């Protein structure tokens, strides 16, 4: 394997605000197995199976793109009550692969269901009946190449052979590495919380490493909990918490052909039943889910292609959240702002430019801009005590915070992005093969 696992486990995140790697361990009802199907021709791990032996409740959010990969079509066409396996491959996006891509998934799902049924017969006291539609897929990689059906198909028995009932931090790390494409670091996060009096776990892994919009590279996010929650509640919780986490690093509707966020509940913890996401007993879980998603979203940003600095853009006191979001993304997506940050230049003129072009009206006589706590503009004027040297010094840090107050209302939005560097160009102008 090209990637040194030990280095990853011991490496410290550059971003001081980010919690370092969190150790994920056993989660009842879930098994993970990882193999190399040699899709990259260098024997790196590239094929991962998540197996829910009791079946998992679940909910997914998919790309808004008008062109979607064959695996997204497959997943949308199934819709079983429970999922028994999620199979994720990297290297090939299964997009523009047409019938070959879709039929490949069907054959792989058939084989998986058949072999998992055999496994259920051997292992379980009351074996479940697993059918083809209980299997869903995550695919990421190059678009338009023939889907490597044979390599994946013949590795299904290996994946199933490797299933162990107890998981540890190594298998989690292995799976987080095996779903990567151009990512340089695996992304894992976890929280423990309570539903009513019962302790539950929320574990998550993700991949994605684009630049201006992380969504231009495929984002995959998989969340696992041992709680008992219905498909309906999972869907509402996921939708609610994606908006200020993954949608704060990617503009609505601007997604790759393969983006996929799915939450699975193994129902192993016998917590009291949740009927609505407004119930008090789910608040703690709700908050923890947000933490896990935000943690993963930030890890994707800070691993952005060529990123050298993590940028947080807080836009506050807007008429509505849509305005705040428009302004935040106008700044976050401006290559001129991003290159200024990479050059450690407190070029606030470019931020003014990005605010102006965003669209929403601005209260120019009140507009305030700060880098961290350093006031640049106050009441629409350059702050009297503005000290360029002090600000330039602030820009040398790895964590840059841009704080904007618009003064047209009370709504806020925070976007996360990274700087734009030479390294980004190198990564993306490299010929594919």
* Catalytic residue IDs: 218
Given candidates 349, 379, 387, 390, which one binds its own copies under the rule CB under 8 A?
A: 349
For tokens 């929320």, name the residue. 202
Residue with smaller CB distance to its own copies, 145 or 286: 145
The residue from 138, 210, 235, 304 that contacts its own copies (CB under 8 A) is 210
Binding span for its own copies by CB under 8 A among 188-196, 226-234, 266-274, 423-431: 423-431
396 makes contact with its own copies (CB under 8 A): no
Q: Which of these segments, 121-129, 294-302, 313-321, 417-425, binds its own copies (CB under 8 A)?
A: 417-425
Among 1, 9, 19, 67, binds its own copies (CB under 8 A): 67
Nearer to its own copies, 37 or 216 (CB): 216
List C-alpha distances in Å: 88 to 2, 48, 92, 273: 19, 5, 10, 31
379: contact with its own copies by CB under 8 A: no
Smallest gap from Cβ 198 to its own copies, in A, equals 41
What CA–CA distance (Å, rounded) separates 98 from 339?
A: 39
How far apart CA 124 and CA 127 sit, in angstroms, is 5
Closest contact distance (angstroms) between CB of 216 and its own copies is 5
When computed from its CA atoms, the radius of gyration of the chain, rounded to whole angstroms, is 23
Q: How far apart are CA 373 and CA 394, in angstroms?
A: 10
Q: Which is nearer to its own copies, 23 or 426 (CB)?
A: 426
Q: Across 83-186, where does the E strand assignment appear? A: 83-89, 135-139
Does position 209 interact with its own copies (CB under 8 A)? The reply is no
Contact between 138 and its own copies per CB under 8 A? no
Q: Name, in order, each residue with C-beta under 8 angstroms of 235's C-beta and a sequence gap of 6 or more.
A: 59
Contact status: 400 vs its own copies (CB under 8 A) = no
* CB of 345 vs its own copies, minimal distance in Å: 5
Please state whether beta strands 310-318 and 411-418 pair in parallel, antiparallel, or not at all (unpaired): antiparallel
Least separation in angstroms between CB 431 and its own copies: 5
Between residues 113 and 324, which has the closer beta carbon with respect to its own copies? Answer: 324
Give the residue, chosen from 361, 390, 393, 410, that forms a contact with its own copies under the rule CB under 8 A. 361
Q: Quick one: 335 exposed, middle or buried, by C-beta within 10 A (0-12, 13-18, 19+)?
A: exposed
User: Taking Cα atoms as reference points, which of 231, 253, 244, 259 lies closest to residue 61?
Assistant: 259
Question: What tokens does 330 get?
Answer: 């106008």
Q: Environment class of residue 110 by beta-carbon count within 10 Å: exposed (0-12), middle (13-18) or buried (19+)?
A: middle
C-alpha distances out from residue 227 to 203, 214, 295, 362, Å: 11, 30, 20, 45
Q: 3 vs 143, which CB is nearer to its own copies? A: 143
**Count of positions (residues) in the chain:** 433
Work out how close the CB of 247 gets to its own copies at its nearest, in angstroms, rounded to a whole number. Answer: 14
Listed ranges 230-238, 276-284, 314-322, 374-382: which one lies at the site for its own copies (CB under 8 A): 374-382
Q: Does residue 239 belong to the site contacting its own copies (CB under 8 A)? A: no
Smallest distance from its own copies to CB 150, Å:
19
**Contact flag: residue 255 with its own copies (CB under 8 A):** yes
- Which helix (H) or strand (E) segment holds residue 188: the answer is strand 187-195
Query: What does the alpha-carbon distance between residue 77 and residue 333 come to, in Å, rounded to a whole number?
Result: 34
157 binds its own copies (CB under 8 A): no
Q: Applying CB under 8 A, does 182 fall inside the site for its own copies?
A: no
Which positions ≥6 away from 182 have C-beta within 8 Å?
Answer: 209, 217, 305, 427
With b meaning 16 or more CB within 10 Å and e meaning fewer, what string describes 14-48?
Answer: ebeebeebeebebbbbbbbbbbbbebbeeebbbbb
Does position 90 interact with its own copies (CB under 8 A)? The reply is no
Task: Among 87, 179, 289, 420, indicate the residue that binds its own copies (CB under 8 A).
Answer: 420
Q: Which residues are at the interface with its own copies (CB under 8 A)?
A: 64-68, 93, 95-96, 98, 142-144, 210-212, 215-216, 253-257, 334-336, 339-340, 342-345, 347-350, 352-353, 355-362, 364, 377, 381-382, 392, 420-422, 424-426, 428-432
């Amino acid at each position: 394997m090209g990637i040194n696992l030990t280095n990853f486990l011991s490496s410290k995140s550059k971003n001081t605000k980010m919690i370092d790697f969190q150790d994920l361990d056993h989660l009842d009802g879930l098994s993970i197995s990882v193999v190399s199907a040699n899709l990259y021709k260098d024997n790196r791990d590239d094929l991962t199976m998540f197996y829910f032996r009791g079946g998992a409740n679940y909910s997914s959010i998919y790309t808004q793109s008008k062109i979607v990969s064959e695996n997204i079509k497959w997943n949308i066409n199934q819709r079983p009550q429970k999922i028994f396996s999620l199979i994720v491959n990297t290297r090939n996006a299964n997009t523009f692969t047409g019938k070959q891509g879709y039929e490949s998934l069907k054959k792989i799902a058939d084989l998986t269901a058949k072999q998992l049924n055999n496994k259920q017969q051997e292992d379980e006291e009351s074996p479940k009946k697993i059918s083809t539609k209980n299997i869903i897929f995550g695919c990421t990689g190059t678009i338009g190449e023939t889907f490597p059906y044979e390599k994946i198909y013949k590795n299904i028995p290996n994946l199933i052979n490797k299933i162990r009932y107890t998981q540890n931090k190594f298998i989690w790390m292995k799976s987080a590495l095996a779903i990567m494409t151009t990512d340089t670091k695996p992304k894992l996060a976890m929280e423990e919380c309570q539903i009513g009096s019962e302790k539950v776990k929320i574990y998550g892994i993700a991949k994605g490493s684009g630049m201006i919009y992380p969504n231009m590279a495929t984002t995959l996010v998989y969340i696992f909990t041992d709680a008992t929650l219905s498909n309906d509640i999972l869907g509402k919780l996921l939708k609610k918490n994606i908006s200020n986490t993954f949608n704060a690093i990617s503009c609505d509707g601007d997604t790759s052909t393969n983006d996929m966020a799915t939450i699975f509940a193994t129902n192993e913890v016998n917590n009291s039943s949740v009927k609505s996401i407004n119930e008090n007993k789910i608040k703690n879980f709700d908050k923890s889910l947000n933490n896990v998603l935000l943690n993963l979203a930030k890890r994707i940003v800070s691993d952005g292609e060529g990123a050298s600095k993590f940028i947080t853009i807080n836009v506050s006191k807007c008429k509505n959240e849509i305005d705040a979001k428009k302004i935040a993304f106008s700044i976050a997506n401006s290559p001129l702002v991003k290159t200024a940050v990479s050059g450690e230049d407190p070029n606030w003129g470019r931020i003014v430019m990005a605010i102006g072009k965003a669209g929403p009206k601005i209260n120019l006589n009140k507009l305030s801009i700060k880098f961290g706590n350093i006031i640049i503009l106050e009441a629409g004027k350059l702050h009297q005590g503005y000290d360029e040297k002090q600000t330039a010094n602030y820009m040398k840090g790895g964590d840059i915070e841009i704080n904007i107050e618009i003064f047209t209302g009370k709504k806020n939005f925070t976007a996360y992005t990274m700087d734009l560097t030479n390294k980004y160009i190198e990564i993306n102008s490299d010929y594919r093969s």
